[in-house]
Each structure stands twice: as C-alpha cells, then as structure tokens.
Amino acid sequence: MYVEECVKTKLIDGKLISSDIRLEITEDVSKLKNEYNIVPKLCVILIGDDPASHVYVRNKQKSAISAGMYAEDYKFSENDNTENVIKLINKFNNDKTVNGILVQLPLPENFDKDEIINSIDPLKDVDGLHPHNVGLLSLGQPRFIPATPFGISELLNRNNIKVEGSNMVIIGRSNIVGIPLANLFVQKNKNFNATVTVCHSRSKNISEYTLNADIIIAAIGQANYLHSDMVKSGSVIIDVGINRISDDTKKSGFRLVGDVDFESMIGKVDAITPVPGGVGPMTIAMLLKNTFNAALLQMNH
C-alpha cells in the first residue's frame, strides 16, 4: 500500500509578522514626525453598508492611528453617486496634508469603480490600483504594490520560503489580488523570479496545475475550495480567502474560513497560512507601509 510521506507542516503566522512590521512602521512614523514634523495621513472612503467592509475599514483606521498616523474615514450611502465620491477624492488630491487615499471595495453596483479609482492622484493611491501604478508594477518599477500581494511577498520572505525558480500557481485573477500577484512574482529580482501560472473560473482541470506547484496562492472566494488531493506533498499554501459561513455556536452567527481546506493540508504541506491570522493582518500592515512611503514620496514633490 502506498503510504503518503508525513510532512511536518509549519504554520505561517501572519499575526506575528504583521505586528513586527507595524512596530517597524511605528518607529519610522515617529522619526518622520521628530525630524520633519510630518505625520502621514490616510483617508478611507466607504460606500454602502457591506458589513465585512465596515469591519475592514474600522481595522485599517484603528491600525493607522495606533502606528502614530492620522486616519479618517468618510462614508457614503449606497444611494449616493459617483460624482460626489470623485468630488471628495479631488478635495483629498488637492490637500497637502492627505498622503493616502483608499476606496474600500467592492462598491455597490450603481457606482463606477474605474472612474472612481482613476480619479485618485497616483501618488496618493496607496492601494496601487490606479492604472499608472498597475503599469509601473507590470514594468518592474513598482511605486505602490497592492497591499495583499505585498503582504504575501513579505510573509514568504520573512519565513525564508524560496520563491526564486519555484512553480507558483495563483488561483484567481482579480485586479486587487491575482493579477498584481502575478505581476509581482514574475519580476526579475532574487526575491521573485517564479514561474507563475494564473488559474481562474474558466481554467480546465485546475488540479493539473496545482499538483505541480511548489507554492499555491488561493484567492477565489470559495470556502474550503482547495483540498489536499489537489496539492503535492511539501508545497507551500497561501490562503487569501475570507469567507463567512454560518455557525450557530458563534454569537455573530458566522465564522471565517479560507479558500483552503486547512485541516486536510496538515501533515502534507510544508507550510500554510491560517484563516484568520494569515494573509489578512498582513494586508493592513502593508497598507500602512504604503501610506508611510506615500508621505516620503510627497515630500519630494
């Protein structure tokens, strides 16, 4: 009988690494204040009443403030319109005290996402979603790397997981995660240099790709999608999913699970990120890093 080799699975602790990074940023913010009297400021725009978005925005604001930055949030009702959001963005674009502008996604259907993102000053686009910043990243000249891909590269780097030369499979092709991940990890740079395959909803037989992958990044938004029979022994699994599934034992009535069937992976893969406590906290830490970098960038303009 074939017996699967039992691998000791390392848990990649995003909570711990993100708190290290936030500490580093807090020190940098304090130096910037002492030496130049500049305090980075982040403005977050939230449209509509998606409960998860409300939680994310509150966490972003709280984390920015606890790193010593200024952070404000601005809320629009889902009955408002694109023009009014752009008016506010223009006000922030022209306000020298505002360094970072972020519009929380997804937006309600009646808002024009592209028009809104394109109206953000590219030097204040700390989400890295403006076409100028997307273009710079794809040319290998990153200005702002979107926070989730940036966080994943830090997680791999700070856990000494070798990316160079690896077969990497990304599942999902969103503008916010899958596409910038691919643009980042193909870069000619010793921290990247991966052979990247992007699978998506129209890909045939995804297992054919994932079974050959050294690193798999799951960003599809389907609870427990990636099972252990789709991955090879000794691979590294990064779970970007945050899915709410109902759970009567919780006060909130739900619990969070990733895109990866976590339990089944233990003993088979080399390393894995948990949900929660993996990629999620890194996203916030890297947003703060981008906001700090935005303040530096704007000092020279």
Give the CA dihedral 229, 232, 236, 238, nearest 10 degrees. -30
Decide if residue 99 touches ligand GUN (CB under 6 A). no
State the Cα–Cα distance between residues 187 and 199, nearest whole angstrom. Answer: 19
Distance CA 232, CA 247 (A): 31
Cis (ω within 30 of 0) for the bond into 276?
A: yes
Residue 17 or 57: which CB sits closer to ligand GUN?
57
Spatial CA neighbour of 74 closest among 35, 51, 101, 110: 101
CB of 146 to ligand GUN, least distance (A): 6
Would you call 62 helix, strand, or coil by DSSP? helix
Q: Does 105 bind ligand GUN (CB under 6 A)?
A: yes
Residue 176 within binding range of ligand GUN, rule CB under 6 A = yes
Q: In this chain, which stretch among 97-105, 181-189, 224-232, 250-258 interacts with ligand GUN, using CB under 6 A?
A: 97-105
From 272, 288, 245, 230, select the one nearest 12 (Cα to Cα).
Answer: 272
Nearer to ligand GUN, 213 or 242 (CB): 242
Q: Which of residues 237-296 bind ligand GUN (CB under 6 A)?
A: 283
Active site includes 60?
yes
Residue 268 falls in the annotated catalytic set: no
Nearer of residues 42 and 206 to ligand GUN, judged by Cβ = 42
Asked whether position 103 contacts ligand GUN by CB under 6 A, the answer is yes
Quick one: 176 or 256, whose CB is closer to ligand GUN? 176
Decide if 127 is catalytic. Answer: yes
The answer to whether 10 touches 277, Cβ cutoff 8 Å, is no
Query: Of 266, 241, 296, which is closest to residue 36 (Cα–Cα)?
Result: 296
- Check 28, 125, 127, 239 and give the catalytic one: 127
Q: 18, 104, 153, 183: which one contacts ligand GUN (CB under 6 A)?
A: 104
Choose, from 28, 41, 104, 124, the residue flagged as catalytic: 104
Dihedral angle, C-alpha 140, 144, 147, 152, nearest 10 °: 30
Give the binding site for ligand GUN (CB under 6 A). 102-105, 127, 147-148, 176, 283
**Enzyme catalytic residues:** 60, 104, 127
